[in-house]
Structure 1
Amino acid sequence: MKEVSRAAGVSISTVSHVLNGTRHVSPELRQRVQVAITQLDYRHNGLARSLRTRQSYAIGLIIPDVANPYYPQIARGVQDAAAAAGYWVFLCNSDRHPQAEVRLLENLEGRRVDGIILDPSGPDPALLAALRRSAAPVVLVGSRIDEPDLDVVTVAPNGGYEAVRHLIARGHRRVALIAGPPVSGGALPALPAKAGGYRQALDEAGIPPDLTLIAEADYTREGGAAAMQRLLALPNPPTAVFAGNDLMAIGALAAARRAGLRVPEDLAVVGYDDIPEAAVTTPALTTVAVPKYEMGRAAADVLLDRLRSRSPHASTASTLDGDSGTSGRPGTPSPHHIVLPHRLIIREST
């Protein structure tokens, strides 16, 4: 580091701030340091930095399934925000199992990550207990947990309502729901994911609910196709379906095609998420678009804010707007609850 400071004509502390992202450095000085680093082929000793600061400069990201096209965009948002602050990201898959989530939380903490971002399966009691005893700060993203003392970044909850209202406005009265598994562990009886907005839209339109039109699946194409086949086998099948994610909706499109149905003439289909495939299916899929990348960045920003507030050199004030007070721990800023908007994208499938 001394050689870099000498070559760049700056102090050692300035080089340290550039390498560690610990303080603002002017663009001119930053450029001089980076040029010197390149010329000298300098390699930063991350282990020495961790020992000195008692930070690993690593965060864990726990998502249900990296193979689902919804999650890489969240992961990219997390990584971009983390990298800009000098952090690495470790990616883990939970397969939506609460026990796996608890195990991953404990393992990541045991490996001394500085913080964790989790897309949880639901308010499982063991998971809630693990979240509250974690020494590392945890931020929930796209959350199926609504707890006032936890940091949460999520999407406005009425996307299903808007999707079903759109189908009703198209003249459909037999509207089915392909939902994810029930969210268990809460104070209320478990309901299939997205069922609340579905029921609200039907109630407002004066359409009596028909439980035979609700089919549960596992958020995959295969699950969506199997659920659609069950719905089409009903004596009075639906004329429209809202699926809780785009993968299930794409599976429903395939099942409708195999059954000889035309979309949208015989069956209208709406998905949720707006994954890249949604725009290139045949027909193109109407869906509720979720700001996935922005959600990942926002979760990382919340976590980084927590880490800054824990640093002995940080101000006790939070850097995020609207965050003040305490959350039950002395000196801890109150929880962040960030809700991002969604939007209905109308394409050819309706």
Structure 2
Amino acid sequence: MRWRPIPLLLWTIVVVAALAALVALRGAARADAPAAVAASGGPRYGLSTVGLSYPFAAAIAKGFSDAAVAAGATPVVLDAQGSVQKQANDIDDLVAQRVKGIAIMPLDSVVAQGWVDRVGRAGVPVAAVAALVGDPRTRAIDDVYPGLVALASQDEVAAGEAAGTLAAELLPRDRPARIAVIEGAAGFPEVEQRARGFRQGLDKAGVRYTIVASQPGNWTAEGGEAACQNILAAQPDIDLLFNEADDMVIGCARAVRAAGSHARLIGVGGSKLAVASIKAGAVDGTVCFKPEALGALAFEALHAPQAGPRFRTYPIPAVTRATVDACVGQW
């Protein structure tokens, strides 16, 4: 069945309700964090995050902070605000504060190699969360960078492959399908990894396809909407738009509806708003992530190091309207 634009009133109700729930969640998370830090008096553990304005990163910070407080420790979360230079300074600040361990959600996975080396020379355990450290084109996700006690992340290539396998079920088989990819932002390893996995999923399914366009959406709904508007204006016969993050797929859905397009829509991340949109029929599917679980895994790697594999992850199923209840959004 082809996707059909849903009535404006239903769309408005779904989006408003989902946004209200998301705002409430973020407000609760930000309100709880300072109180939790103040209530604890144990050893301090730092998290350098890419930016708390990103809901996925905010959920990782919540998971890290909740796990620290539960263990009697004090979380110290520093917000890089999307700046590589600020993140470098934040990591130096955490070392100067003599924290017991540092988790880094790197803005630039290649630059982060120097940060890990520097923290290691200071004698502070360091873990990476949500993105690998190293060149994603040459380092496998489970090949953890030397100097890290652990990498807590979903397998981004596997996530892309799950999205590609799902896409294969939605695409026409009587002709080569026309696909567009909405990427994240430059420097993030997930951009290349998810795109590579997506193509692998399509190839394994034996689908005939052409990727006719690829534009960055910078991880935001506004960016996703703008990218999809541009692509649909130039390529109105697109069959499917693969968005590398759920925030972008929400914006892309607005562009698809405005253009009167029947393009199918797939995201990545399992956000609350994407789950609501899948239930409403505005988005076809996503890959379910658990960012709070990642934050907790990163803290545990620093607080209680264990022998064995240093790559820590969890299952990441693709979900559609029929299976979306299995994905409980954490952001």
- TM-score, structure 2 length as denominator? 0.71
In the alignment, what sits opposite 1:305?
Answer: 304
Note closer, same or farther for the CA distance 1:165–1:44 as it changes in structure 2 (3 Å cut).
closer
Per-residue CA deviation, residues 92-132 of structure 1 (Å, 9 max, x unaligned), is 2223433222111001111222211111123233x311211
**3-state secondary structure, aligned to 1:117:** strand
Segments ≥4 residues shifted beyond 6 Å:
none
Q: Size of the alignment, in residue pairs?
A: 263
In the alignment, what sits opposite 1:341?
Answer: 315
Unaligned runs of 5+ in 1: 1-42, 47-55, 307-319, 324-335
Note closer, same or farther for the CA distance 1:106–1:257 as it changes in structure 2 (3 Å cut).
same
**3-state secondary structure, aligned to 2:86:** helix
Code of the residue aligned with 1:268 in structure 2: it is R
Contact 1:284 1:347 in 2 (8 A): no
Is 1:64 aligned to residue 61 of structure 2? no
In the alignment, what sits opposite 2:118?
Answer: 133
For residue 176 of structure 1, the aligned residue among 180, 183, 204 is: 180
Q: RMSD of aligned C-alpha atoms?
A: 2.7
Per-residue CA deviation, residues 147-198 of structure 1 (Å, 9 max, x unaligned), is 43122111123111121221222234112211112447x9xxx964521112
Per-residue CA deviation, residues 280-308 of structure 1 (Å, 9 max, x unaligned), is 234354210012222111111001024xx
- TM-score, structure 1 length as denominator? 0.68
> What is the distance in 1 between the residues matched to 2:193 and 2:308?
30
> What is the distance in 2 between the residues matched to 1:148 and 1:218?
26
> What is the distance in 2 between the residues matched to 1:197 and 1:208?
15
Note closer, same or farther for the CA distance 1:175–1:289 as it changes in structure 2 (3 Å cut).
same
In the alignment, what sits opposite 1:15?
Answer: none
In the alignment, what sits opposite 1:248?
Answer: 248
**3-state secondary structure, aligned to 2:241:** strand
In the alignment, what sits opposite 2:265?
Answer: 269
In the alignment, what sits opposite 2:16?
Answer: none
In the alignment, what sits opposite 1:207?
Answer: 208
Contact 1:180 1:193 in 2 (8 A): no
Residues 95-106 of structure 1 aligned to structure 2 (within 5 Å) = 95-106=81-92
Highest CA radius of gyration, 1 or 2?
1
Residues 1-350 of structure 1 aligned to structure 2 (within 5 Å) = 57-125=43-111, 127-134=112-119, 135=122, 136-145=124-133, 147-149=144-146, 150=148, 151-157=150-156, 158-172=158-172, 173-183=177-187, 192=192, 194-204=194-204, 205-207=206-208, 209-210=210-211, 212-235=212-235, 237-261=237-261, 266-281=262-277, 282-283=280-281, 285=283, 286-306=285-305, 320=306, 322=308, 336-347=310-321
Which structure has the highest helix share of the two? 2
Per-residue CA deviation, residues 250-285 of structure 1 (Å, 9 max, x unaligned), is 010111122233xxxx12111111111112234354
> What is the distance in 2 between the residues matched to 1:59 and 1:296?
12
Note closer, same or farther for the CA distance 1:269–1:115 as it changes in structure 2 (3 Å cut).
same
> What is the distance in 2 between the residues matched to 1:230 and 1:193?
24
User: How much has 1:208 moved relative to structure 2?
Assistant: 5.0
Code of the residue aligned with 2:70 in structure 1: it is A
> What is the distance in 2 between the residues matched to 1:106 and 1:120?
14
Contact 1:115 1:138 in 2 (8 A): yes
> What is the distance in 1 between the residues matched to 2:239 and 2:40?
62
In the alignment, what sits opposite 1:40?
Answer: none
User: How much has 1:236 moved relative to structure 2?
Assistant: 5.4
Note closer, same or farther for the CA distance 1:229–1:72 as it changes in structure 2 (3 Å cut).
same
User: How much has 1:343 moved relative to structure 2?
Assistant: 0.8
Note closer, same or farther for the CA distance 1:276–1:156 as it changes in structure 2 (3 Å cut).
same
User: How much has 1:231 moved relative to structure 2?
Assistant: 1.3
> What is the distance in 1 between the residues matched to 2:221 and 2:132?
22
> What is the distance in 1 between the residues matched to 2:276 and 2:213?
27
**3-state secondary structure, aligned to 1:322:** coil
In the alignment, what sits opposite 1:29?
Answer: none
Unaligned runs of 5+ in 2: 1-37, 134-140, 325-331
Aligned-residue sequence identity (percent) comes to 25
> What is the distance in 2 between the residues matched to 1:222 and 1:154?
26
Code of the residue aligned with 1:259 in structure 2: it is A
Contact 1:59 1:116 in 2 (8 A): yes
